[in-house]
Amino acid sequence: MSNETILHGLETESHGEHHAHHETFISKYVFSQDHKTIGKQFLITGIVWAIIGGLFSVLFRLQLGFPEQTFPILETFFGKGAKGGVIQPEFYYALITIHGTVLVFFVLTAGLSGTFANLLIPLQIGARDMASPFLNMLSYWFFFLASIIMFSSLFVHTGPAAGGWTVYPPLSALGQAGDGSKIGMDLWLISMAFFIVSSLLGGLNYIATILNMRTKGMSMTKLPLTMWAILFTAILGVLSFPVLLSGAILLLFDRNLGTSFFLSDIVIGGEILPNEGGSAILFQHLFWFLGHPEVYIILLPAMGMVSEILSVNSRKPIFGYMAMIASLFSIAILAFLVWAHHMFVTGLNPFLGSFFVLLTLLIAVPSAIKVFNWLTTLWRGNIRFTPGMLFAIGFVSLFISGGLTGLFLGNSTIDIHLHDTKFVVAHFHIVMGVASMFGMFAGIYHWFPKMYGRYLNNTLGYIHFWITFLGAYLIFWPMHYEGLAGVPRRYLDLRGWHSFNKFEDLNKIITIVSIIVFAMQLMFVFNFFYSIFKGRKVRTPNPWDSNTLEWTTPINPGHGNWPGEIPEVHRWPYDYSKNGRSFIPQTEPIGPDETKDH
């Protein structure tokens, strides 16, 4: 083994040479083809969207918490949307629609996968860059274009899309149905189409790179779990996003070309439409065929990063590496087979529904394996609580809480009662929204030193974690009870309802907590940008005593990542506390008396 290393050391890497190309500001920071810069571009664009999406949630929470109060300042900013300081229904629905769209797609898909897949794939598998740096750059710029279109839709005079982030037709197909279904909806669909192109370009690149460009010795079973998670994420995205694209295009046809894919037997506002024979439910199948894998597109990268961070900071190998891969794999497969659990009450054939119940609850098995394995990873470890580690622990906690409520909703019997109530809102925010956000935060705190050669401020990191963690539970835990009482989601005012009009205090508390949590995120953003320029400098290439390859690069790696040749890999990435050594990097050959087995 060790002889081979020496031999390999003599080889030269043809593409490793550093061509002294002149990098202008534009080619270095704007139209860059360096995967690290592209990752940062995704991250920063994601942060901008997260602020917008978060701000929108604060606005609609104001309405939910204080429906009887007026906020004249809102009228100053939003004009007729908040006439008299009261958020108007159309505006409210626009807020929730954009909040959902932006956070699901722009922040937790592009911001999360885009950032960490781009940053980490070449660094962790030992490659100079992505398989196609140019496509990679295009992927970002398509995302940017999608962002611009979505952003501009906020300013059209009839307002942005307002049919909910799931944009079910006929509501989204008919301009007569409301202002939010007019030009704003077209822009939403066009923006999503570009977004899908972006994620396809990205996804294909991720798959190609992970499969083909691993460094010498990096067999698939020596890959860090982050890489496995990103690989499955990319496969999910490539296979399911085109279906949404087709749905979006058909919907555009229905809207603008008079087709009847999703329209049938409609009389709206007294006007009789000619469309017959379409199916409104068809769109839901197309939407959720992406929409459900999408949940895992959001969740899997977070799972991968959390596995990595838990292991590094427990100073222990991740427990059950193969089982972790197997569970990622089965989650990825099952993700395609459960979409109709969003549709139990659409009139779906009950017999068909029962299959989706079975397959949905089946996902709980690999999820349980993951949780137990994370717990065992902590067991008898030597845990360092970096902010990244705290967010990783928070992720596991939230994933448990939100995962368990999934067993309520996945069971069609209970779903009849809980479908489209606040219970659903609480469930998916905890398990997919906040948990993945925690995974993203964990990743940012953990890999910030690699991105910028500086640390984020630790104390702010701790404050950020504790307020966000406590806040997340305070906001979403009580919401389950509202759902159990039958309070439907997307109701902006419960005062007209005898059955639901008993949660005023609760809604006030939730709103106040969400304002505090949002303010805390602004603090994080401040910490982020401040630390890029003024943070404490990283002095060692491997600040977390980690095994993986990205920490063998210089503190501020240039384009090409390794100044010399790419290191060779000899072992899996989780040899922590083995044979009395704190960590053994992947580049170290297996010793003669060492067991190869892990």
Partner 1 sequence: MQTIFIIAILVFGFLITFQIAKASEYVAVLRGEEKSRKQNNRINALLLLVFLVAGLIGVYYCNEKLASKILKFGSSASDHGLDIDNMLKITIIITGIVFVITQSLLFWFSFKYQESEKREVHFYPHNNQLEIIWTVIPAIVLTVMVGYGLFYWYRITGDAPKNVAQVEVTGKQFEWIFRYPGKDNELGKKYYKNINAAKENPLGQLWEDAANHDDIVLNQEMHLVVNKPVKFIIGAQDVIHNVGLAHFRMKMDAVPGTPTTIWFTPIKTTKQMRLETGDPEFVFELSCDQMCGRGHFSMRGLIVVEEQEEYDLWMASKKPKYFSVFPEKDPENKSVIAAVTGEKK
Site for partner 1 in 293-322 (CB under 8 A): 314-322
Helices 183-212/225-256 angle, 10° precision? 150
The C-alpha atoms of residue 2 and residue 591 are separated, in whole angstroms, by 8
Which residues have C-beta within 8 Å of that of residue 44, sequence separation ≥ 6? none
574 phi/psi in degrees, rounded to 5: -120, 30
Both tokens of 25, joined, read 């500001």
Stretch that binds partner 1, among 13-21, 87-95, 141-149, 193-201 (CB under 8 A): 87-95
| 538 makes contact with partner 1 (CB under 8 A) | no
| 336 makes contact with partner 1 (CB under 8 A) | no
Does the CA dihedral 321-213-546-13 come out positive or negative? Answer: positive
Stretch that binds partner 1, among 120-128, 137-145, 185-193, 454-462 (CB under 8 A): 454-462
Number of residues that bind partner 1 (CB under 8 A): 132
- Looking at the Cβ atoms of 16 and 541, the one nearer to partner 1 is 541
- Looking at the Cβ atoms of 142 and 408, the one nearer to partner 1 is 408
Does the CA dihedral 256-103-495-502 come out positive or negative? Answer: positive
Coil, strand, or helix at residue 493? coil
- Looking at the Cβ atoms of 42 and 262, the one nearer to partner 1 is 262
Coil, strand, or helix at residue 336? coil
| 163 makes contact with partner 1 (CB under 8 A) | yes
- Looking at the Cβ atoms of 3 and 459, the one nearer to partner 1 is 459
Residues 576, 315 contacting (CB under 8 angstroms): yes
From the CB of 26, what's the least distance to partner 1, in Å?
33
428-440: string of b/e by CB count within 10 Å (b at 16+)? bbbbbbbbbbbbb
| 592 makes contact with partner 1 (CB under 8 A) | no
Does the CA dihedral 314-319-321-327 come out positive or negative? Answer: negative
Angle of CA points 197, 557, 235, to nearest 5°: 30
Both tokens of 360, joined, read 């949905």
Amino acid at 595: T
Enumerate the β-bridge partners of residue 267: 272
Among 191, 373, 514, 586, binds partner 1 (CB under 8 A): 373
Cis amide leading into 301 (omega within 30): no
**Alpha carbon separation from 345 to 164, 396, 410 (Å, rounded):** 18, 31, 12
Stretch that binds partner 1, among 28-36, 138-146, 178-186, 246-254 (CB under 8 A): 178-186
| 401 makes contact with partner 1 (CB under 8 A) | yes
The C-alpha atoms of residue 221 and residue 586 are separated, in whole angstroms, by 12
From the CB of 105, what's the least distance to partner 1, in Å?
18
| 476 makes contact with partner 1 (CB under 8 A) | no
| 350 makes contact with partner 1 (CB under 8 A) | yes
| 157 makes contact with partner 1 (CB under 8 A) | no
Among 221, 372, 529, 596, binds partner 1 (CB under 8 A): 372
- Site residues (CB under 8 A) for partner 1, limited to 259-288: 263-270, 272, 276, 278-281
- Site residues (CB under 8 A) for partner 1, limited to 115-144: none
DSSP H or E run through 188: helix 183-212
From the CB of 595, what's the least distance to partner 1, in Å?
10
Stretch that binds partner 1, among 247-255, 339-347, 542-550, 560-568 (CB under 8 A): 339-347
| 75 makes contact with partner 1 (CB under 8 A) | no
The pattern of x and - marking residues 403 through 442 that bind partner 1 according to CB under 8 A reads -xx-xx--xxxx-xx-xxx---------------------
The C-alpha atoms of residue 284 and residue 250 are separated, in whole angstroms, by 12
From the CB of 109, what's the least distance to partner 1, in Å?
22
| 174 makes contact with partner 1 (CB under 8 A) | yes
| 449 makes contact with partner 1 (CB under 8 A) | no
The C-alpha atoms of residue 519 and residue 511 are separated, in whole angstroms, by 12
- Looking at the Cβ atoms of 13 and 420, the one nearer to partner 1 is 420
Among 306, 390, 510, 569, binds partner 1 (CB under 8 A): 390
- Looking at the Cβ atoms of 190 and 407, the one nearer to partner 1 is 407
From the CB of 163, what's the least distance to partner 1, in Å?
7
128 phi/psi in degrees, rounded to 5: -70, -35
- Looking at the Cβ atoms of 27 and 346, the one nearer to partner 1 is 346
- Looking at the Cβ atoms of 101 and 553, the one nearer to partner 1 is 101
DSSP H or E run through 439: helix 435-452
| 470 makes contact with partner 1 (CB under 8 A) | yes
